[in-house]
Amino acid sequence: MKECRIEIPLKVYTYEELSETDRTIVDQAKQMTYQSYSPYSHFSVGAAALLNNGVTVTGSNQENAAYPSGLCAERTTLFYAQAQYPDAAIEVLAIAARNESGEFAEQPVSPCGACRQVMLESQTRGGIPMRILLYGSKFTYELEKVEDLLPLCFTAKDMEPSSH
């Protein structure tokens, strides 16, 4: 038996330590929490994506009484970005969340598994690492690429005959 350890590089910043560009995209993600439609979970999530063409697109979670029919803020944002700007890569994705009291989460909130997989595909499609900013009112996490959120990830290469 061999035991392995996976280490993930993670930078932790206060809001004030973020660059002006990163503060702007985090602010856009925070603002999008107010566009959330979350009458069931009362958990409002916003996301903002900075594209390599300089455009920023945003999205928020949209719930439905039939839960599987809703969509997370991350996927709303990424799908919109790719539908409207199919040739642009996503450089940065910022995510913020508020609880039912209307307060931003103190700790950064991490994307669900489905969103992580879509983030990975979006990064692959764009051909460059997608930096991730996870906002919390006490501090913000920065991850340099999606694989840092999704180690041992499943990709198209896993479906190739030579990979089995």
What is the phi-psi region of residue 153: left when phi exceeds 0, alpha when psi lies from -120 to 50, beta otherwise?
A: beta
| Dihedral angle, C-alpha 104, 38, 117, 18, nearest 10 ° | -20
Task: Give yes or no: 74 in active site.
Answer: yes
Tokens encoding 108: 């950064």
Tokens encoding 144: 């340099």
* Contact yes or no for 35/60 (Cβ under 8 A): yes
Alpha helix locations (H) across 33-112?
A: 73-84
Instruction: Measure the CA–CA gap between 161 and 164, rounded to whole angstroms.
Output: 6
* From 7, 16, 17, 74, the catalytic residue: 74
* Contact yes or no for 140/12 (Cβ under 8 A): yes
Residues with a known catalytic role: 74
